[in-house]
């Protein structure tokens, strides 16, 4: 991410904090820190904290061993303070908090308890909230750079899906785990970086479990297989699901259910436009499934927001009256799940545009 983009995001965050207040937002390694600085690493036991006060420049408190990488990724952050393993982080942490002297602290929603407890110990009189109170409003609308990365990730998933579908009868006899590993290889060869989440291969009755963990069951001719996977490009994920048959003919019921799910997804996407609610998109797809008699077998929300996190705002679910805005990105993934028999889910990511929606996945949605 360009330094100018990161700097603008921090300024936008500070505007959310109200410049005259004595509030500070504190993030730690994860997607919020990546969003604000461009730097990403997995959390560890070491104190790595990024402080964004309402009315002054941000401060990074960084373990000495991570300092060079952080400064390379975020050269625009002028105040980077390090601590060593020998000295420990507590004195450095105390100094930063004493300097900022906040009366309200917004903590990264995913921050480990060991760090939140240390901050509370140093600032017992402050009130506390979550960083999502201010960051969700910023992250929910993607800018052009983010959408471009999501498009590239979607294209990588499309390339992998086409390669997997082309296996045809060669997939028969493979285990779900073997097919999942093959998918992951194809994602990397298509330009992706690793997987965005654990790859799901649900064959036959396993497809009726929406979050099935790929196992040792073998792929069989004539049965539907749910494939749900994604990769990352420039930190942004793809998330695509297709239900396909590699060889043989589907039963009439499989074909019927698949047609219903495909129609439901199309109806939900057709309903997307700025100003309509997230709940109305859920309703548009769910009505199709209910009319076909499978309403009680659609057992999850229609979609979830996607950005640096695979699951973020907005949820496309009943009761969410959040109005859609251009730049929002979310999945549309209706499904029907028939226990001990089979399941069908079809999923694409979409971007809300000025006139409707743009799909980020373009592969065949048929069996």
Contact 267, 244 (CB under 8 A): no
Check residue 21 and give its pLDDT: 84
DSSP code for 218: B
DSSP string, 339-357: TTTEEEE-BEEEEE-SSSE
**Secondary structure of the chain: what % helix, strand, coil (to 5)?**
40, 20, 40
As a whole number of angstroms, the distance between CA 198 and CA 228 comes to 9
As a whole number of angstroms, the distance between CA 161 and CA 21 comes to 50
Contact 53, 132 (CB under 8 A): no
Kindly give, in sequence order, each residue whose CB lies less than 8 Å from that of residue 291, ignoring residues fewer than 6 positions away: none
Length of the chain, in residues: 367
Give, for 133, the enclosing helix (H) or strand (E): helix 132-139
Which residues is 106 bridged to in the sheet? 25, 129
Domain ranges of the chain: 3-139, 144-359
The class that CATH gives domain 144-359 is alpha beta
As a whole number of angstroms, the distance between CA 214 and CA 177 comes to 5
As a whole number of angstroms, the distance between CA 45 and CA 34 comes to 18
As a whole number of angstroms, the distance between CA 323 and CA 275 comes to 5
User: How, if at all, do strands 104-107 and 127-130 pair?
Assistant: parallel
As a whole number of angstroms, the distance between CA 367 and CA 344 comes to 10
Would you give per-residue pLDDT tens digits along the chain (367 residues)?
666 788 899 999 999 998 778 999 999 999 999 999 999 999 999 999 999 999 999 999 999 999 999 999 999 999 999 999 999 999 999 999 999 999 999 999 999 999 999 999 999 999 999 999 999 999 999 999 999 999 999 999 999 999 999 999 999 999 999 999 999 999 999 999 999 999 999 999 999 999 999 999 999 999 999 999 999 999 999 999 999 999 999 999 999 999 999 999 999 999 999 999 999 999 999 999 999 999 999 999 999 999 999 999 999 999 999 999 999 999 999 999 999 999 999 999 999 999 999 999 999 999 9
Placement of tokens 């921050």 in the chain: 111
Instruction: Enter the tokens of residue 25.
Output: 């937002």
Contact 279, 320 (CB under 8 A): yes
Contact 206, 232 (CB under 8 A): no
pTM of the entire predicted model: 0.95
Q: Which CATH number fits domain 3-139: 1.10.510.10, 1.20.120.160, 3.40.50.2300, 3.40.350.10?
A: 3.40.350.10
């Amino acid at each position: 991410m360009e330094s100018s983009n990161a700097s603008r995001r921090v300024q936008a965050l500070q505007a959310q904090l109200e410049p005259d207040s004595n509030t500070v937002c504190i993030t730690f390694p994860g997607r919020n820190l990546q969003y604000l600085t461009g730097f990403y690493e997995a959390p560890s036991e070491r104190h790595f904290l990024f402080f964004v006060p309402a009315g002054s420049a941000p401060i990074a408190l960084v373990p000495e061993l991570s300092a060079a990488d952080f400064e390379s990724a975020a050269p625009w952050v002028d105040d980077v303070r390090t601590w060593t393993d020998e000295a420990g982080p507590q004195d450095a942490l105390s100094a930063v908090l004493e300097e900022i002297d906040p009366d309200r602290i917004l903590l990264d929603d995913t921050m480990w308890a060991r760090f939140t407890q240390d901050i509370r110990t140093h600032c017992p009189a402050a009130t506390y909230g979550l960083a999502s109170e201010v960051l969700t409003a910023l992250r929910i609308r993607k800018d052009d750079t983010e959408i471009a990365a999501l498009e590239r990730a979607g294209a990588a998933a499309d390339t992998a899906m086409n390669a997997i579908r082309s296996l045809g009868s060669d997939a028969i006899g493979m285990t779900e785990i073997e097919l999942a590993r093959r998918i992951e290889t194809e994602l990397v060869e298509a330009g992706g970086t690793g997987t965005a989440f654990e790859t799901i291969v649900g064959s036959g009755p396993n497809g009726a479990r929406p979050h099935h963990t790929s196992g040792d069951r073998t792929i069989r001719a004539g049965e539907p297989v749910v494939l749900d996977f994604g990769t990352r490009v420039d930190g942004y994920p793809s998330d695509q699901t297709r239900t396909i048959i590699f060889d043989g003919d589907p039963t009439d019921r499989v074909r019927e259910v698949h047609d219903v799910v495909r129609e439901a997804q199309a109806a939900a996407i057709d309903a997307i436009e700025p100003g309509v609610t997230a709940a109305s998109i859920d309703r548009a797809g769910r009505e199709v499934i209910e009319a076909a008699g499978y309403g009680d077998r659609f057992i999850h929300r229609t979609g979830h927001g996607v950005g640096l996190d695979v699951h973020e705002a907005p949820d496309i679910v009943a009761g969410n009256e959040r109005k859609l805005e251009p730049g929002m990105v979310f999945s549309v993934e209706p499904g029907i799940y028939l226990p001990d028999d089979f399941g069908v889910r079809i999923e694409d990511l979409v971007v809300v545009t000025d006139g409707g929606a743009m799909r980020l996945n373009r592969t065949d949605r048929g069996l």
